[in-house]
Amino acid sequence: MKHLGAASAGLLFVLMLTAALAGCGKSVSAAGAEAPDMHIDFENGQPIRTGTEQQFYRVEPGQSGELQISVHTESGSLQITVAPTDAPDRFCYRGMDLPTSDFSVILSEPGEYQVWIEADHFMGNYAFQWTVS
């Protein structure tokens, strides 16, 4: 078995730490979550996000869903867009340069919804809570 050198072990530690911290400040209760293109750097131990992330939520017939969104912005820009996956240009919600805020988006039509998160040097955090009634 080959042993890792100090530099390789250090790089492995940094990669594992980055992977563990990538989800900090964000909780998701969703049908699915993907990070197709979110890049995270760190400055003074704080994550700085640049790129996009998408999440999916489903509303069954006879139900409605509430997506509670909490944003804490320290710097940079955060945009959140909610739309049906089969009609991505029909926005249920679109917020650009979001300040620190808490709000809800009610989804009452059955179907799958896509949430796009777009960050530009965003420092802070955001969280989503999904409830169905």
| pLDDT tens digits along 21-62 | 332 223 333 344 444 688 888 988 888 999 999 999 999 999
> What is the distance of C-alpha 67 from the center of its chain?
13
pLDDT of residue 44: 86
Q: Is 74 helix (H, G, I), strand (E, B) or coil?
A: strand
Mean pLDDT of the chain: 79
At residue 110, the pLDDT reads 96
Per-residue model confidence as pLDDT tens digits over 5-26: 444 434 333 333 333 333 222 3
Q: Say if residue 74's pLDDT is above 80.
A: yes
pLDDT score of 117 more than 60: yes
Tell me the domains of the chain and their CATH numbers. Answer: 26-132 (2.60.120.680)
Task: Yes or no: say if 115 and 47 are a contact pair by the CB < 8 Å rule.
Answer: no
Contact indicator for 126, 71 with CB cutoff of 8 Å: yes
On whether the CB atoms of residues 20 and 92 are closer than 8 A, the answer is no
Q: Which residue has the higher pLDDT, 126 or 39?
A: 126
Instruction: Name residue, tokens 């009609």.
Output: 87
